[in-house]
Amino acid sequence: MTAPTGIPPLHRSPVARALGSLLASGFSLLQRLRPPRPIHSRGVVLRGEMRWIPDAAPAGVSFVDDAPPGPVPVVARVSRSVGLPAPLPDIIGLALRIDVQAWARRGGEGPDPDDGILERGRTGGRRASLSGATAASRAVADIELASTGWNVPARFALLPRRRAERARLGTLLPFRGARGPVLFIARTSAGRPPATDPRKVTGARDTAWVLTLGHATAVGPWHPFARLELHLDPDQDARGLRFDAVRRPVPGAESYAWVRAARQPSYVRVQLDDAELRTPTDQPAAAGR
């Protein structure tokens, strides 16, 4: 029996569906060669907080526009796509998992635990459950970033970089917000990650890696909306850290049908993980786990 992809029928997206099938086949082959993750196979787990910038330019996405007054917990993973050793250039990846329950509570409207996350505020004002079969999945949102360019058209291209702190890390493909397409990006404000290869974590200095998050339309300027501070997580077990921004989007955003059709078949094939979903508020495991 074929596993469900979570993709509705997309009769008007034949090109995207064909691309999705092609990518799924390619990633399945890669996974046989490099299990369990065909790309970004090695990464370093980070933990920290996101703080919203007051009076930031609106994005048409409630996650951006309804800024909570306090910090929101985040767990993250930084990695190199192909796995080439530094200082060789590689596609840098930074995946974020954000505690949206904390975002909702600190914005003044906590979610009903039996009803998913409350999607609040100026960009909808309606209730909406985030994707996911469990309460943990509904309580978090994922943002997946990779090294791209800053301006058009480079913001839609993956670009190899030698160091994570020198990369512009963008979503590559847009989300749909209340005002149309929205892209997210992160760039380093201070510091750097302790490592991008888990084999180099031992003895690494746990300095803060501070990034500024921004949003933009497909061709518009970037607008900063939050600061992210990350530190080395004592628990480097990445089981349960399978990120999927289509199934777990930030509140107020969703993926376009063509993005789902092109992207999700390969995600479904390679993201089989029996581990319980890891959230930003999980306590670090004991050493030696």
pLDDT tens, 159-218?
A: 999 999 999 999 999 999 999 999 999 999 999 999 888 888 877 778 899 999 999 999
Asked if residue 288 is part of any domain, the answer here is no
pLDDT value of residue 110: 40
In this structure, is residue 282 part of a structural domain?
Answer: no
pLDDT of amino acid 273: 57
Given pLDDT bands bounded at 50, 70 and 90, which one contains residue 118? very low
Asked whether residue 2 is assigned to any structural domain, the reply reads no
This prediction has a pTM of 0.79
Helix (H, G, I), strand (E, B) or coil at 85: coil
Residue 137 has a pLDDT of: 64
Burial of 195 (0-12, 13-18, 19+ CB in 10 A): buried
Distance CA 174, CA 177 (A): 9
Residue 114 counted as domain residue:
yes
Is the pLDDT at 95 greater than 90? The verdict is yes
Q: What is the pLDDT of residue 87?
A: 83
111 upstream amide cis, omega within 30 of 0:
no
Q: Please provide residue 108's backbone torsions phi and psi, each rounded to the nearest 5 degrees.
A: 105, -5
* Region at 176 (left for phi over 0; alpha for psi -120 to 50; beta for the rest): beta
**Start-to-end CA span in the chain (Å):** 35
Look at residue 275 and tell me if it is in a domain: no
Q: Which amino acid is at 217?
A: T
pLDDT at 145 over 80: yes
**pLDDT tens for each residue of 213-246:** 999 999 999 999 999 999 999 999 888 888 999 9
Q: Is the dihedral of CA 171, 176, 179, 181 positive or negative?
A: positive
Q: 95 lies in a domain?
A: yes
pLDDT bracket for residue 5 (50, 70, 90): very low
Q: How many angstroms separate the Cα of 182 from the Cα of each of 36, 140, 142, 145, 179?
A: 31, 20, 15, 14, 8
pLDDT of residue 285: 63
* Farthest CA pair distance, the chain: 53
The count of domains in the chain is: 1
Q: Domain range spanning residue 239?
A: 14-270
The CATH number of the domain where 220 resides is what? 2.40.180.10
Domain presence at residue 286: no
Average pLDDT over residues 17-28: 51
Indicate whether 10 pLDDT > 50. no
The pLDDT of residue 13: 64
With a pLDDT cut of 90, the percent of the chain lying above it is 53
Is 80 contained in some domain? Answer: yes
